[in-house]
Amino acid sequence: MSLPKPHPLAHTSLVVSAAIFAFPLLWMVLSSLKPSTQLVEDPYAFWPRQWQWSNYVEAVQAMPYLRYLRNTLLLAGGSVVGSVLSCSLVAYGFARVRWRGRNVLFGVLIATMLLPWHVTMIPRFLLLRELGLYNSLAALVVPTFLGDAFYIFLLRQFFLTIPEELSEAGRLDGLGEWGIFCRIIMPLSTPALATVALFQFIASWNDFSGPLLYLSDPDKFPLAYGLEQFVSSYSDQTHLLLAAATLFTLPIVILFFLTQRTFLRGIATTGLKG
């Protein structure tokens, strides 16, 4: 049975919506290549009069960009590993292991999503300071190894779609719960795990409040916090600010386009598609 063809207006509306949302990004990229004089004389012009690629060189030289980038990659990489490992284990316990009080505790976990970050900010800061993690990237990475309610919910929804017969077959072959988790569930959950990894990578890449709260050493600043420091120091040089903003934004855009197929598969198979 063939699927019904989408209405032509649906494609048109999607293209128009995509163009509207992409326009500010395109304007930022083109403006980052304009001479500083054009940004002052005609800031709303779309095309550069002269392609000023040296703006990027000046922006990188004006701040320790490579150091910020290294710190950000360490922070994002560690956070991705922590979130995927911890959240997949907890989600497996809620989805595939039967134990008393499972549903009640899962409801309590979901209820924690109602708490804003500001409520737990001070207790978390005091705890990490007592553990000796203040002013280190570990203060931002270690909490990700303790799980996240949204990611646990997302993975649990995906694990529930995996047939129980596969786990039963693994038990007949002598596998325990750990073996079933590692050898059956995890290999089948690549789209959902990739979705969690992408969400956490973007969250860590864009995180400003965390570094502002836990870091005081400029050598440990990530890109988000370093960019804010750069804006404060070069507020009158718009061409450099736009170049720095483009350098900060483009990696995330490129990453999404490279992983969008896996990302959309993960969203479509976790029950979050609406």
Give the Cα separation of 107 and 98 in Å (integer).
15
Of 18-27, 42-51, 78-87, 254-263, give the range with the top mean pLDDT: 78-87
pLDDT band at 273 (very low <50, low <70, confident <90, very high): very low
Q: What percent of the chain has pLDDT over 70?
A: 92
Of 44-48, 78-82, 195-199, give the range with the top mean pLDDT: 78-82
What is the greatest pairwise CA distance in the chain? 75
Query: What average pLDDT is seen over the chain?
Result: 85
In the chain, where are the structural domains located? Answer: 63-233
Q: What pLDDT is recorded for position 263? A: 64
Does this model's pTM top 0.85? My answer is: no
Q: What pLDDT is recorded for position 203? A: 92
Dig out the tokens for 220 from the structure: 């440990």
Hey, what amino acid is at 71? N
The single residue listed with the structure tokens 């896996």 is: 262
Give the Cα separation of 163 and 167 in Å (integer).
8
For residue 88, what are the contacts with CB-CB under 8 A and spacing of at least 6? 155, 181, 186, 189, 193, 196
Q: What pLDDT is recorded for position 3? A: 47
Q: What pLDDT is recorded for position 266? A: 59
pLDDT for 259 beyond 90: no
pLDDT for 274 beyond 50: no
Give the Cα separation of 29 and 25 in Å (integer).
6
pLDDT for 264 beyond 70: no
CATH homologous superfamily of 63-233 equals MetI-like (1.10.3720.10)
